[in-house]
Structure 1
Amino acid sequence: MATSSVSKGCFVFKPNYKKRKISVPIEDYFDTKKNASEDSKLRFETYQLMWQQMKSETERLQEELNKNLFDSLIEFLQKSHCGLQKSSRDWGFQIKLREIPTAALVLGVNVTDHDSVFRSLTEVLQNTVTPHVVSLQAKDCPDMKHFLQKLISQLMNCCVDVKSNEEGSVHVTQKRTHYSMDLLFDWYKTVTQKAEPKLPSKKRTTCQWQSPPVVLVLKDMESFTTKVLQDFITVSSQHLHEFPLILIFGIATSPVIIHRLLPHAVSSLLCIELFQTLSCKEHLSSVLDKVLLTTQFPFKISEKVLQVLTNIFLYHDFSIQNFIKGLQLSLLEHFYSQPLSVLCCDLPEAKRRINFLSANQCENILRLPSFQRHVEKQTPEKQVALLTNERSLKEEAQSLLENLHAYHVNYFLALKCLHNFTSSLPKYPLGRQIRELYCACLERNIWHSKEYSSALQLLRMLAKDELMTMLQKCSSVFKSSSENQLDNTAKKIEEFLAQFQSLDADVKEEEDSSGSQAKGLQKTDLYHLQKSLLEMKELRRTNKKQTRFEVLREKVVDFIDCLVRDYLLPPETQPLHEVVYFSAANILREHLNAAPRIALHTALNNPYYYLKNEALKSEEGCIPNIAPDICIAYKLHLECSRLINLVDWSEAFATVVTAAEDIDAKAAPSEEMSEIIQYPFISSTLVQTHIKCNKKSNNEGFPILHVILITPFLYTGWFPPTLQ
């Protein structure tokens, strides 16, 4: 495959992709030298099954959250279209007829999640309102010509009732058609006339089937050109009686953007109704509640991993989809790096798999730090049995997995109960969202923190109605749980509710006679709570008798404190927690929080880190001559402070490259230097010179040219012949 040319260079020949076949099964990647295990295939299958279940749960949750929004949106579209049809029969409604029904759909700043929402919305609208639904993006519609081209082409492709070769129908040729509003109106007229009448179904009403509207969805309304929107809205409003149009604006910021982009003369032609989706934080709380704060899925993550995922969510994109992908990466990494993750499944299946564990897997159990601490607490006889008898070890492992499952059931019930008591306190000492409380409980014993003590003090100053509301929420949590092992706790909560309800008028009179303290309990703002705290301390100092309500409130707070201390122990205290918990936050951070400058410096300064070639290993400060040319040039470039002499740089490069060939490159004139050295040096010099110029103006990162040139070579391990 030689190539002749006037100028010598590097030529790329496309490989024959048809001959390439993936011969290695995917599950074999789980079986590496680092973590070789006979259960690699089973671990991969377990990972696939669990991820499919988690993915189905998140998709079902997304549908539930969007259901109310879609229902109200569909109701608005149906009423608007029926109203337009009734108004079109009476010419006295011309002013009303010119207003285009418009739904302003505020989705939030999580732009990466918008595609899934619009995809579901399009499917629902096609099934319930009209078959003519078009979605457009601003990047595809820079002017009116492209706007009409995208709109008409999508409409004509979705039309299935009219044949293009029929007489009187609109024939479409993508290359020669002149796209205009007249063509759009003629197409709709042809569709409504030629379409056969259909009986109304259970979903569609007769009103929509007679002349279905055209729903135009603008996914990113803020990015559209103002002139395009103005012209299209103005023309469409004048032909609503012959072309019923409904607009849906996808808005990421605020509905005010409509009036900023459109003048009053144009915005007055729109009949706008606002629709708001669920906030990103509430959606995240729902995902955590259904995926992590449940025993349905045995896989769990540690506090640091959860902190990494939530920080990316809160400080980068607010994307639920990216959070779920990070969760998937954590699940994959856990099953890949932990051989005992084969037991991370349903409890009956995990107990069955323990019976078939090999001797190596039993050794892995003995190496777990949590299991070693558990063995140290046993009697000497049991210690010997666990360390020497494989059957005793498996029986103990089954018992510990049962205890771990019961621990999670009680843990999540106590966590939700504590959250109901502390989520509405002033200044939220334990956080407003349950994820904040969950992170605090995962990290340490929460009752040792100052925030927990502050929360208990505030709970001791609440009014009766507030305490009863919190107790009712806790009671509903225990009732909704399918695995309620805390029956005594649920009964105790019911008893507290009954005692609060039994407080009669005598108790109120007793509270009134207790002085100003009872008055301060009627309000829960921070000022009155602090004032009540001082009064309560003064009351205790004077040894005054507490009322029945105060005694009962103190019992409730003590009950909550005991519940927390008994069941909210950190996961590290439980034996075999490593089987189900993923804690390698640094690995997750490397994958999700990319640092391109550090990665590129490492690749250029130490190519062995990525290429894994033993010949590239060298001592610090040495430059091996077999390293990639750009790595040699980069290391020589680092030896200069600010300015670099190109001749000295080239001579140093030639010296390093020819070090193994006993050639005195310094004695030879530069014009007689071998072309084998010239080309790689020139190509590397172009990149390094660009880096030097870029560093002078911006010292924060590498230029994009550097990334494009070096990344394919270092990550694939392939270099052109002239660069080797």
Structure 2
Amino acid sequence: MALNLDDINQTTIYIPYEGPESDDDESGPEPYAPYAERDLPEGPEIRLRAYRAAWSRCLNRVQSIVHQLYDPVADEIVTQIEDAYEGVLPGLPYPEMPVFAISAPSSGSTFVNEIAQRMERPVFEDEYEMEADEGPGAYITHLRPSDCTSVMNAMKALVSGFVVQSPDGQDVKRKPTTSLANYDIQLLGVWYDAIRDSLDDDVETLPPLLVFMHEFEQFDDVVMQDVIYICSAHITRLPLIFILSLSSPPSPSFIHTTYPRSTLALLQVHEFTLPSGEEILEKIVMETFFSLEFEPPIMIGPWVIDFLIDFFSRHTYSVDGVLTILQLAYLKHFDEPLTIFAAEHDWPLDILEHPSAFPFLDRLLASTLDAQSSRSAKGWPITDIPALLEFKNQAEADLQAHLRDARLAFRLMRCVQEFLVRQGYRKAEMEKDPFEMMCAALRGGLAREGKYLGLLVKKLSVEKLKGLLSDIRVLVTDLPPQTSEYGAPIVSFLDEALELFDVHDGAEIAEGISGWLVRYFADGHFVNLEELKLWEIWYTGSTPFPSEMINPSPRATVLSGLLYPYEYVESSTEDTGDNSTSKRRALWGLPDITILLRRYLDAGRMINIFDWYESFAVVLENQREHIMNPPTPKPKSGRGKTKGKKAVEAKKPQEDEDEDREEEWKMYVQARFMRALHELDFLGFIKHTGRKPDHVMRTVFDIPE
């Protein structure tokens, strides 16, 4: 269809972007490579595979911990769902519909989906393969706030979610002229009667109908009151069970504070709360990175732990947020080219002999040089690549040895502290919380806290000392082989301490146990891992966490991109300080939307569209003159006559354009103005008002520098 600019029926004209005139540079932006100058030829691909392997191990560990925390609650919910219609209280004026409210602020929909998978009806190739004790399972449908904007839509989503599931595995075919409406609950009753007739006579329980409602706080309470009333009137025929996913805290109860008594009287509410708060975060970090049985491939540093607790306590208690932060920390860690040595699988070492690998080897040798106090008298010991790899293996063994020793000492300190707190010693809580103690352990600064706890042990009685030794014995029992050598001194101390109870009184025993604990915690078990050789390969250390990826600033980013577009687009490796290209560039050299936004910032609360257009046209006229008559460089000669002569030639007036060409230029300016104006309107910078049709209102006033 041809573009007709003179058609008055066209309210909008779309001018497609055809790209630059020259297609010489079509490479696009360069890939993200912060250390490209010292990276190996195949380094990014190898490190990406190493990252995936390392993160897979860490993710599986965290998920197993979360499952251990949630499994008891999930088992209880599944059991009560199966017995929801068993043992109903007699004498009720009307039957109550079972409702299970699950308050899961830290898991989102993950836990509810797991419940759905457990209750899902098993699929068999032959229906006769189903065992009688397993039952026929359950039929499940999921409802979300967008599906329940009205009572009709809510009932349609509920009924349709069930009737599309065929009891015999065949496709359901209904004639619209002879069928009930898809929002009529009687249709669901007829469908369930077919389910009941298809079951064997020896099946004792009928399959329940589970309705999972995600983000229940977002549902319209008026609509849900009508849905509950309709469903509760048919539960004698339809075993409906509502399972509500709540993100609000359990107290005060959202259901009891939102819905009236007349609605609550129709429900049999069962409330469940999942473990949440800082306790679950402490459990995840402790059992993943300070566990005696599991060794993470990459150890997180204090910066990651600090950001983790700050984000978890300030923004959200979601476990998914914890996983995202840990994943970003791992991904950021593998930016470093040296982390290629963290790959579990072998990679071609011959790439180290390539000339392009020399900057990488220089960086690696520099790290080994920092680790050595001085060169030996025989010269530098690392003379070839095999010696360098052997040095790397030794550095990894040393780092892992210090980590195992520090983990055991930290768990022992936490064991003593928790025992003292249980015995009522409030001073044992200390000023540092568990996360601050983790950071201090990685920095090698927990000796003072260990001494303090050791001195508190002096105050324990004989019976309490036996309880403390029993807890320590449980800690060091069945240690993995790689950690058992570090637990040998503790086991030896426990054996000696048990002999003290037969020959010494309580004060001497407490003195001996306290003195041993003070000496143990001061014996260099906590060291600063950043002082070890090649620590940056397996330890994130004090590398700042990329918080802008987790908590971005979209408003500031959009404004900076519009005001300084060339600075925003240019490579981040270049210098973009106060003397950047965008801030030096003249206004006529900026994009249309930037020109319009600059004029936007100079206006008041309301902007006259025509004045805005006139100011925009002035800038485009200036742009036109500069393009048609580019400035000529000044001559280097200092002769005044030549300089004046060329200046006069540069200022020769151009020939006047004819009237048709001028009108074409005005239409061109109007089209560019409308396109930039619509872009600002789409971004929300202007608001239309009915009082003054030729004016618009500003919506953005505070512009960050």
State the TM bucket, normalised to the shorter chain.
0.7 to 0.9
- On the 8 A contact 1:496/1:556 being kept in 2, the answer is no
Amino acid in structure 2 at the alignment position of 1:319: S
Amino acid in structure 1 at the alignment position of 2:80: F
Q: Structure 2 matches for 1:387-398, cutoff 5 A?
A: 388-398=383-393
Q: What secondary structure, in the 3-state scheme, does the structure 2 residue paired with 1:318 have? A: coil
| Corresponding residue of 1:313 | 312
Alignment equivalent of 1:115, drawn from 104, 109, 119:
109
Alignment equivalent of 1:56, drawn from 60, 82, 87:
60
| Corresponding residue of 2:554 | 596
Shift of 1:232: 3.2
Alignment equivalent of 2:369, drawn from 355, 372, 382:
372
Alignment equivalent of 1:279, drawn from 263, 276, 285:
276
Q: What secondary structure, in the 3-state scheme, does the structure 2 residue paired with 1:161 have? A: coil
Alignment equivalent of 1:259, drawn from 256, 259, 264:
256
Alignment equivalent of 1:239, drawn from 225, 231, 234:
234
Shift of 1:221: 2.9
- On the 8 A contact 1:105/1:251 being kept in 2, the answer is yes
| Corresponding residue of 2:626 | 659
Evaluate the alpha carbon distance shift between residue 373 and residue 445 of structure 1 in structure 2; reply closer, same or farther with a 3 A threshold. Answer: farther
| Corresponding residue of 1:429 | 430
CA shift digits 1:592-650 (9 cap, x unpaired):
22122432343234323343389x96374432644322234445666789998644454
Q: What secondary structure, in the 3-state scheme, does the structure 1 residue paired with 2:86 have? A: helix
The separation in 2 between residues aligned to 1:80 and 1:640, in whole angstroms, is 66
The separation in 2 between residues aligned to 1:576 and 1:174, in whole angstroms, is 76
Amino acid in structure 2 at the alignment position of 1:612: E
CA shift digits 1:415-456 (9 cap, x unpaired):
2222223354637325443x33212333453336xx677656
Q: Structure 2 matches for 1:561-600, cutoff 5 A?
A: 561-563=521-523, 566-582=524-540, 586=544, 588-600=546-558
- On the 8 A contact 2:562/2:594 being kept in 1, the answer is yes
Q: Structure 2 matches for 1:73-152, cutoff 5 A?
A: 73-83=77-87, 93=90, 95=92, 98-108=95-105, 110=106, 113-127=107-121, 130-152=137-159
- On the 8 A contact 1:429/1:454 being kept in 2, the answer is no
Q: What secondary structure, in the 3-state scheme, does the structure 2 residue paired with 1:83 have? A: coil
Shift of 1:70: 1.6
Amino acid in structure 2 at the alignment position of 1:133: I
Q: What secondary structure, in the 3-state scheme, does the structure 1 residue paired with 2:235 have? A: coil
Q: May I ask how many residue pairs the two structures share in their alignment? A: 618
Evaluate the alpha carbon distance shift between residue 648 and residue 344 of structure 1 in structure 2; reply closer, same or farther with a 3 A threshold. Answer: same
- On the 8 A contact 2:299/2:538 being kept in 1, the answer is yes
- On the 8 A contact 1:365/1:371 being kept in 2, the answer is no
Amino acid in structure 1 at the alignment position of 2:526: L
The separation in 1 between residues aligned to 2:455 and 2:697, in whole angstroms, is 56
| Corresponding residue of 2:194 | 190
Amino acid in structure 2 at the alignment position of 1:479: T
The separation in 2 between residues aligned to 1:257 and 1:183, in whole angstroms, is 32
2:161 aligned with 1:181, yes or no?
A: no
Evaluate the alpha carbon distance shift between residue 493 and residue 377 of structure 1 in structure 2; reply closer, same or farther with a 3 A threshold. Answer: farther
- On the 8 A contact 2:95/2:235 being kept in 1, the answer is yes
Shift of 1:320: 1.4
Amino acid in structure 2 at the alignment position of 1:234: Y
- On the 8 A contact 1:131/1:158 being kept in 2, the answer is no
Q: What secondary structure, in the 3-state scheme, does the structure 1 residue paired with 2:378 have? A: helix
Amino acid in structure 2 at the alignment position of 1:181: I
Amino acid in structure 2 at the alignment position of 1:214: L
CA shift digits 1:196-220 (9 cap, x unpaired):
3187xxxxxx533xx2121222223
**Could you say which structure has the greater relative contact order, defined with CA pairs below 8 angstroms and 6 or more residues apart?**
2
Deviates more, 1:409-418 or 1:175-184: 175-184
Alignment equivalent of 2:590, drawn from 616, 627, 631:
627
- On the 8 A contact 1:216/1:248 being kept in 2, the answer is yes
Evaluate the alpha carbon distance shift between residue 306 and residue 228 of structure 1 in structure 2; reply closer, same or farther with a 3 A threshold. Answer: same
The separation in 1 between residues aligned to 2:155 and 2:72, in whole angstroms, is 32
Evaluate the alpha carbon distance shift between residue 602 and residue 175 of structure 1 in structure 2; reply closer, same or farther with a 3 A threshold. Answer: farther
Point out the structure with the larger helix share. 1
| Corresponding residue of 1:515 | none
- On the 8 A contact 1:298/1:580 being kept in 2, the answer is yes
| Corresponding residue of 1:540 | none
The separation in 2 between residues aligned to 1:171 and 1:119, in whole angstroms, is 33
Q: What secondary structure, in the 3-state scheme, does the structure 2 residue paired with 1:105 have? A: strand
Alignment equivalent of 2:338, drawn from 329, 337, 340:
340
Shift of 1:691: 4.5
The separation in 2 between residues aligned to 1:552 and 1:185, in whole angstroms, is 76
The separation in 1 between residues aligned to 2:530 and 2:3, in whole angstroms, is 64
Q: What secondary structure, in the 3-state scheme, does the structure 1 residue paired with 2:160 have? A: helix
| Corresponding residue of 1:38 | 41
Evaluate the alpha carbon distance shift between residue 390 and residue 695 of structure 1 in structure 2; reply closer, same or farther with a 3 A threshold. Answer: farther
Evaluate the alpha carbon distance shift between residue 606 and residue 222 of structure 1 in structure 2; reply closer, same or farther with a 3 A threshold. Answer: closer
- On the 8 A contact 1:134/1:217 being kept in 2, the answer is yes
- On the 8 A contact 1:220/1:252 being kept in 2, the answer is yes
Q: What secondary structure, in the 3-state scheme, does the structure 2 residue paired with 1:103 have? A: strand
The separation in 1 between residues aligned to 2:177 and 2:522, in whole angstroms, is 76
- On the 8 A contact 2:444/2:526 being kept in 1, the answer is no
Shift of 1:59: 3.2
2:160 aligned with 1:160, yes or no?
A: no
Deviates more, 1:399-408 or 1:549-558: 549-558
Evaluate the alpha carbon distance shift between residue 163 and residue 94 of structure 1 in structure 2; reply closer, same or farther with a 3 A threshold. Answer: farther
Shift of 1:105: 1.6
- On the 8 A contact 2:163/2:188 being kept in 1, the answer is no
- On the 8 A contact 1:354/1:394 being kept in 2, the answer is no
Pairwise CA RMSD = 4.3
The separation in 2 between residues aligned to 1:328 and 1:610, in whole angstroms, is 27
Shift of 1:154: 0.9
Amino acid in structure 2 at the alignment position of 1:132: Y
The separation in 2 between residues aligned to 1:12 and 1:462, in whole angstroms, is 82
| Corresponding residue of 2:487 | 487
The separation in 2 between residues aligned to 1:580 and 1:176, in whole angstroms, is 64
The separation in 1 between residues aligned to 2:163 and 2:582, in whole angstroms, is 67
Evaluate the alpha carbon distance shift between residue 621 and residue 97 of structure 1 in structure 2; reply closer, same or farther with a 3 A threshold. Answer: same
Shift of 1:155: 0.7
- On the 8 A contact 2:497/2:513 being kept in 1, the answer is no
The separation in 2 between residues aligned to 1:636 and 1:697, in whole angstroms, is 14
Q: What secondary structure, in the 3-state scheme, does the structure 2 residue paired with 1:445 have? A: coil
The separation in 2 between residues aligned to 1:286 and 1:14, in whole angstroms, is 56
Shift of 1:413: 1.6
| Corresponding residue of 1:220 | 215
Alignment equivalent of 1:69, drawn from 51, 68, 73:
73
CA shift digits 1:30-62 (9 cap, x unpaired):
798445413423222222222333333333333
Shift of 1:577: 0.5
Shift of 1:151: 0.8
Amino acid in structure 2 at the alignment position of 1:438: M
Shift of 1:569: 0.9
The separation in 1 between residues aligned to 2:669 and 2:315, in whole angstroms, is 45
The separation in 2 between residues aligned to 1:142 and 1:225, in whole angstroms, is 7
2:3 aligned with 1:3, yes or no?
A: yes
Where does the alignment leave 5 or more consecutive residues of structure 2 unmatched? 20-26, 122-133, 631-652, 688-695
Evaluate the alpha carbon distance shift between residue 239 and residue 637 of structure 1 in structure 2; reply closer, same or farther with a 3 A threshold. Answer: closer
Amino acid in structure 2 at the alignment position of 1:122: A
Amino acid in structure 1 at the alignment position of 2:396: L
The separation in 2 between residues aligned to 1:154 and 1:14, in whole angstroms, is 47
| Corresponding residue of 1:419 | 414
* TM-score, structure 1 normalization: 0.73
Share of identical aligned residues, percent?
17
Q: What secondary structure, in the 3-state scheme, does the structure 1 residue paired with 2:85 have? A: helix
Q: What secondary structure, in the 3-state scheme, does the structure 1 residue paired with 2:393 have? A: helix
Amino acid in structure 2 at the alignment position of 1:233: I
The separation in 1 between residues aligned to 2:627 and 2:143, in whole angstroms, is 61
The separation in 1 between residues aligned to 2:325 and 2:178, in whole angstroms, is 42
| Corresponding residue of 1:248 | 243
Q: What secondary structure, in the 3-state scheme, does the structure 1 residue paired with 2:156 have? A: helix
Q: What secondary structure, in the 3-state scheme, does the structure 1 residue paired with 2:275 have? A: coil
Shift of 1:185: 2.1
CA shift digits 1:65-99 (9 cap, x unpaired):
33211211121122223335xx8xxxxx3528712
The separation in 2 between residues aligned to 1:213 and 1:490, in whole angstroms, is 55
The separation in 1 between residues aligned to 2:617 and 2:18, in whole angstroms, is 32
